[in-house]
Amino acid sequence: MDTDTVFFVPWDISGNMLERSKELYKRAGTFDVVSPGDKVAIKLHAGELGNPNYVRPFFIKHIVDEVRSLGGKPFLTDTTTYYPLQRNNAVDHMETAVANGFGFAPFIVADGLRSENGVSRPSPDPLLSEVEVAGAVHQADSMIIVSHLKGHPLTGFGGAIKNVGMGCVTQKTKLEQHRLLDLVVHEDYCQGCGTCVEACWLDLPRIEGDVVVIDSPYCMRCPICSSVCPEGAITLENRDRILHGLSVATKGVMDTFPWGKVSYVNFADEVSTVCDCAVVQGDKYIKDVGIFASYSPLSIDALGLQHIDYGHLNRVHGVDCTEQLVKMAELGVAGSRNPALEKV
C-alpha cells in the first residue's frame, strides 16, 4: 500500500474504459481494503438532479460487484447538502440517486434523514471545533472513495479531499467549514436594491437603512449573494481558510478508519469548471484525461491537479486550489504532493 504512487489509466475513446478500469484496480490494489463480511461504504457523489457530469453508474456497479465477489457487503453512500436543493434530505437524495442511475445497490444517506446522524470526532487542528463524521461512514468497516474531478466556486477544485472532507460529514461540520470564509458587506457600494435578498436560498439577507445586513449564523458563505450583487458590494475573503478546513475535516474522517481500509479512485472525465452539486453542466474545458487510483487522498488529488490545468480553475474561481494539498501535508497525511505516476 504505497501512498506515494498513483496508478493511472489514460482515457481512450476507442477502448473499453470499463475493462481498463478493472486492470487499474488490480494494479493499484483498490479492493485490498475489503475483508469478508465488511460493510463497505462506496462513497460517491450522486450528482445534483439536472447535472450529467457525475461518474457513470456502470463504473460504480462494477465496484459494487467486485466488493460482493470478495465477500464484502457494499452500499453506496453520500451525505445531505446544507443548501436546499434535491439532496438536502435523505428522501430527496435517495430519489435523486435512483433518477441518476444508482438504483442497483443499497443507497444509504450517511448522515440521516435531516443530517441528525453524526459521530463527533476530535478535530486534528484547531481550525475546526470538531469533525462530525456521518454515522454510516463512521460505522463502515472499509470505504472506497470514488470521486469525479471538477471545479468548485469556493474551493477551486473538488476531488478526493473534498469528497471526504465535505462529503463524509454532517451539515453541522459543512457549515463550520464554509463559515471559515469571511463575508464582507462594503456599505459604501451597497444601494440596498435587495437583489441578494431575492437570490438567497435561505432567505438570510435583510435590508436595514438602505444597506444589506447578512449576520445570520446559518449563512453558509455560498457565493450566490456576492455573485448577483450589481454593485460588487458583497465579497468573500480569506478563501484559503475553507481549503484548510476541508483538509482538516478530511483528516478527521480518515482517522476513523484503521490504516489500509480506505482506497481512492478519481475519474478525470467530463471535467467542468462547475461542481457536480450545481444543476447546470458548466464549461467542459479539457479533453477527458483518465482514471487514477491510490491509497492517499493527498497523492491522488496532487496527480489529478497536474493533469487538468488547475491554473484555469484558479483563474475562474479566484482561489489557489493547491492549498488543500498544502494543509494535508502539514497535517501529516500519508502521501506526497509530488507522487510517482505508474501508467497501466
* Residue pLDDT, tens place only, 74-118: 999 999 999 999 999 999 999 999 999 999 999 999 999 999 999
What integer best gives the mean pLDDT of the chain? Answer: 97
pLDDT of 271 reads 97
Asked if pLDDT for residue 213 goes beyond 90, the answer is: yes
Whether 95 contacts 89, CB under 8 Å: no
DSSP H/E element including 237: strand 234-237
How, if at all, do strands 340-343 and 5-10 pair? parallel
Q: Between 57-69 and 17-28, two packed helices, what is the crossing angle to 10 degrees?
A: 40
Give residue-wise pLDDT tens across range 282-340: 899 999 999 999 999 999 999 999 999 999 999 999 999 999 999 999 999 999 999 99
pLDDT of 237 reads 97
Look up residue 273 and give its three cell numbers. 469548471
DSSP H/E element including 314: helix 310-317
Give residue-wise pLDDT tens across range 34-74: 999 999 999 999 999 999 999 999 999 999 999 999 999 99
How, if at all, do strands 39-43 and 73-78 pair? parallel
Residue type, 32: D
pLDDT of 14 reads 95
pLDDT of 1 reads 81
Q: Which residues contact 136 (CB under 8 A, 6 or more apart)?
A: 41, 75, 77, 108, 109, 110, 111, 117
What average pLDDT does this structure show over 15-41?
98
Least confident of 163-172, 178-187, 272-281: 272-281
What average pLDDT does this structure show over 214-243?
97
Half-sphere exposure of 153 toward its Cβ, with a 13 Å CA cutoff? 14
**Pairwise CA distance, residues 25 & 8, whole Å:** 10
Q: Cα 340 to chain center, whole Å?
A: 24
Q: How far from 150 is each of 60, 159, 170, 270, 313, CA to CA, in Å?
A: 18, 7, 22, 8, 9
Q: What are phi and psi of 87, to 5 degrees?
A: -130, 25
**Pairwise CA distance, residues 145 & 125, whole Å:** 23
What average pLDDT does this structure show over 265-272?
98
Cα dihedral sign for 133, 242, 282, 81?
Answer: positive
Kindly report the three-state secondary structure assignment for every residue of 209-226.
CCEEECCCCCCCCCCHHH
Cα dihedral sign for 199, 202, 205, 206?
Answer: positive
Whether 221 contacts 157, CB under 8 Å: no
pLDDT of 202 reads 95
- Quick count: other Cβ atoms within 10 Å of Cβ 332? 8
Record the pTM.
0.97
Give residue-wise pLDDT tens across range 178-201: 999 999 999 999 999 999 999 999
Asked if pLDDT for residue 149 goes beyond 90, the answer is: yes
